[in-house]
Amino acid sequence: MNGKIVGIGLLAIGAVAGGGMWYLQEYYFYDRIPAADAITVQTAAGPIAVPASDFQGIDGDSSPLKWRVCAVLAEQPADPVPFKGATPIGAPRWFDCFDHGQITTDLESGAAQAVLGQAEIRPDVDRVLAIYPDGRVYGWHQYNDKTPERGVMD
């Protein structure tokens, strides 16, 4: 009988700890960010602020990679700097405007273009944007490639 009580107690503690971990990863470490009226895009001529609407965004202090944005650009930026190796990172399920699987598929098929939003937004992290022809834009942070060709070396 004592073994059953101990076993049930361990299962209960495990369930509470697992539920707490899920809550922390899915909700606690994310905050909605205030709506912005423009999104910065790097172009061959330098950074430009492109007017945006329907802005939704999240971020978190616990990691430089938590930033995600969904919006609609008022116009297509002229001559944006392409971003090679763009890999959208998943977002919490409740932030349903950001579907990293669909964005990845669209980048691979050419339905969307990956461009640099801002280099070194945080040390070793770039802001990447996936821009669609209809103006939809999705953004995330991604570790950058530190190679001599980029002009960044340790």
Quick: pLDDT tens for 74-96: 999 989 999 998 999 888 888 88
CA dist 104 to 34, 51, 131, Å? 26, 24, 12
- The pTM assigned to this predicted structure is 0.78
Structure tokens at 81: 């700097």
**Res 27: pLDDT:** 60
Give me the mean pLDDT over the 106-120 stretch: 93
Beta bridge partners of 113: 131
